[in-house]
Amino acid sequence: MMFVYKLTLRQLSGRWRLLITLLLSALPVTMGVIWRLIEGDARPDHEFEDFALNGMLAASIIPLVSLAIASAAFSNEIEDRTLANLTLSPIPRWKIVVPKLLGALTVGGFFMVISAFVTSYIAYSGDMTTSLAVAAGAAVEVALYSSVFVLVGLMTNKAIGFGLLYVFLWEGLLAGFVSGVRFLSIRHYSVTIVNGLDDRVFTEGEHLSFAVALVASAAVFVIFLALSIQRLRRMDVP
Amino acid sequence: MSSSNSRAARSNGNVAPVIQVERVSRWFGNVVSVSDVSFEIRPGITGLLGPNGAGKTTLLRMITGLAEVSVGSISVFDQQVRNNPDIYSRIGVMSEHETVYQFMKGRDFVKMMGQLRGVSNIDAAADKAINLVDLAEASLRSMGTYSRGMRQRMRLAATIVHEPDILILDEPLNGADPRQRVQFQKLLLQLADEGKTIVLSSHILEEVEQLADTVLLIVNGKLAASGDFHAIRAALDERPYHVRVLCDSPRDLASALVKLESVDAVYVDPDGAIVVLSRNVRDLQIELPRLAQATSARVWRVEPLDDSLESVFGYLVER
């Protein structure tokens, strides 16, 4: 599995991909710095939480970065036809899918978790509990989106298009306005987990409990991982 | 041992088939790519011959388990291939596409492919495979700097690094220069002599003729002919050829040509060229200069009208 993992890291670490990810991950950090410069030692209010953490990081940057990286884990190999190098090997399919997903998680998660941690560390005046809670929420969100987008990358060569529709229509629009959709929203699982990990600063969500968010997150991750393995078993590899 | 002798030595119909394809079809929507194809492949070199778009690659992809069959069954070593990863420790596949990682050094690529296939002494195995394709000097360069022929050879090294019993090679000589072709052919003959089963696809008749013990001729997704290469060649030789002759007195020469036993029909086309239909082109080649001299015709040009591979395949399918 280590060969596939290392190969995936190398494939997903293209200069432009890393540069764009770095720039995107710097945006919330910049917001944290601006907040600190303007407000001095004042603790951030809900406006900062809604705009920088929920709106910018959780609703836009993490899903977009996860989409760009995780969907490419397989779709690039399908496009340049190198996937057959792996599938024509005497290794079970899960040993291809798991390191691919882990590779995507490593590349995307690295930037997103650091961005989340640094942003909240700056904004919340070095509050370690809050910073770790936000970082953990970011890690969960990257993991869930990655497991979804790895499957999308296996299913279609228009993964970015489908991913964008999903992120902005389902996660952004519908989950924002239709309360029932939040039970099936990765962003809301992540926000609920952050709220649950640090209820001193963040208020627990109205629709989901911490426990439900944890269980649902685990279920989404496992289900989409299993679907990806199944897809790789059944698909015609170019 | 000459190639024909070694070919004869390898040909052994009593040996159990290694690959069995039974009534296999594959369609994509309404398009039938492979239609009701059955054959068996034994150790030695089998050539899969057919024009571009005939269904060779689809067939090979089904044999290797990369693609699902719509109908029928395929077994390799009496096992199904699809969803049976363990079998790939005995199969080496080289697709027609350049499936290399441009950023990777040639040696690292071969090593990675060997490790994926469970080779234990990977350094020695990689060195052996790279030496076989004569690319040791370039092996520490990234493959993005290779020529197409070099990439093909390094891919072959990666295909044989785990010493598979079966080699499946889809258009392996594409992009190779003449010297590389000869080297490639020698290597394949050597591997076949070691008892390996090699399936080689090509759309070039001569390429297959030089290597294959057995030929499977695929046209329009169907198995048009199969068997010993000489039988296929004989079938090809039986077909009538159209030959166009340009000369200064076509009617006189045409009258003389039509009397030849080797000529089935002769006509003069509107441009004044003679078109000869013959089943014995060799005889025509000998007789034509003699008749031209006898009729005092000055011949400017003699050209085959239907010597493309497609027309050869077309003839075999229509028989």
Phi and psi angles of residue A112, each rounded to the nearest 5 degrees, phi first: -70, -40
Rama region for B164: left / alpha / beta (φ>0; ψ in -120 to 50; rest):
beta
CB contact under 8 A, A93 and B61: no
Which range (B64-68, B115-119, B134-138, B201-205) has the least confidence? B201-205
- Mean pLDDT confidence for B224-246: 77
- The answer to whether residue A15 neighbours chain B at the CB level (below 8 Å) is no
Q: A116 CA to chain B: closest CA distance, Å?
A: 32
A90 chain-B contacts, CB cut-off 8 A:
85-89, 117-118
CA angle A73, A76, A82 (to 5 degrees): 100
Using an 8 Å Cβ cutoff, are B169 and B184 in contact? no
CB contact under 8 A, A236 and B61: yes
Residue B3 has pLDDT above 80, yes or no: no
CB contact under 8 A, A84 and B95: yes
CATH code of the region B239-318: 3.30.70.100
User: What residue segments make up the domains of chain B, in order of their start?
Assistant: 3-236, 239-318
Using an 8 Å Cβ cutoff, are A120 and A58 in contact? no
Which range (A124-138, B20-34, B257-271) has the least confidence? B257-271
- The answer to whether residue B167 neighbours chain A at the CB level (below 8 Å) is no
User: What residue segments make up the domains of chain A, in order of their start?
Assistant: 2-234
CB contact under 8 A, B85 and A92: yes
Residue A50 has pLDDT above 90, yes or no: no
Residue B265 has pLDDT above 70, yes or no: yes
Q: B90 CA to chain A: closest CA distance, Å?
A: 9
- Mean pLDDT confidence for A73-81: 93
- The answer to whether residue B156 neighbours chain A at the CB level (below 8 Å) is no
Q: A238 CA to chain B: closest CA distance, Å?
A: 7
Q: Which residue has the higher pLDDT, B239 or B219?
A: B219
- The answer to whether residue A14 neighbours chain B at the CB level (below 8 Å) is no
Task: State the pLDDT confidence band at A58, using cuts at 50, 70 and 90.
Answer: very high
Pairing, β B166-170 against β B197-202: parallel
- Mean pLDDT confidence for B195-205: 88
Task: State the pLDDT confidence band at A225, using cuts at 50, 70 and 90.
Answer: very high
- Mean pLDDT confidence for A170-177: 86
Q: Looking at residue B278, what is its pLDDT?
A: 85
Using an 8 Å Cβ cutoff, are B314 and B242 in contact? no
Q: Looking at residue B87, what is its pLDDT?
A: 96
**B-proximal residues of A, 90-149, CB under 8 Å:** 90-93
Which has the closest alpha carbon to A193: A162, B110, A25, A202? Answer: A202
pLDDT more than 90, % of chain B: 55
CB contact under 8 A, B85 and A11: no
Q: Looking at residue B13, what is its pLDDT?
A: 59
Among all residues of chain A, which has the CA nearest to that of B57? A238
CB contact under 8 A, B101 and A82: yes
Query: Domain B3-236's class?
Result: alpha beta
Residue B88 has pLDDT above 70, yes or no: yes
Q: Looking at residue B172, what is its pLDDT?
A: 87
- The answer to whether residue B68 neighbours chain A at the CB level (below 8 Å) is yes
Among A88, A97, A100, which would you mutate to test the B interface (most chain B Cβ atoms within 10 Å of its Cβ)?
A: A88
Q: Which residue has the higher pLDDT, A224 or B174?
A: A224
Q: Looking at residue A118, what is its pLDDT?
A: 97
A11 chain-B contacts, CB cut-off 8 A:
101
Query: In a 3-state reduction of DSSP, which class is residue A201?
Result: coil
Q: Looking at residue A169, what is its pLDDT?
A: 92
CB contact under 8 A, A80 and B67: no
Among all residues of chain B, which has the CA nearest to that of A230? B83
B100 chain-A contacts, CB cut-off 8 A:
82
Which residues lie across from B169 on neighbouring strands?
B94, B200
* Closest partner CB to B85 (pick from A81, A85, A89): A89
Task: State the pLDDT confidence band at B305, using cuts at 50, 70 and 90.
Answer: confident
- The answer to whether residue B115 neighbours chain A at the CB level (below 8 Å) is yes
Token pair recorded at residue A205: 């969500």
Task: State the pLDDT confidence band at B241, using cuts at 50, 70 and 90.
Answer: confident
Q: Looking at residue B6, what is its pLDDT?
A: 55
- The answer to whether residue A2 neighbours chain B at the CB level (below 8 Å) is no
- The answer to whether residue B160 neighbours chain A at the CB level (below 8 Å) is no
CB contact under 8 A, A10 and B83: no
* Mean pLDDT, chain B, whole residue set: 87
Most confident of A40-44, A57-61, B51-55: A57-61
Rg (CA), chain A: 18
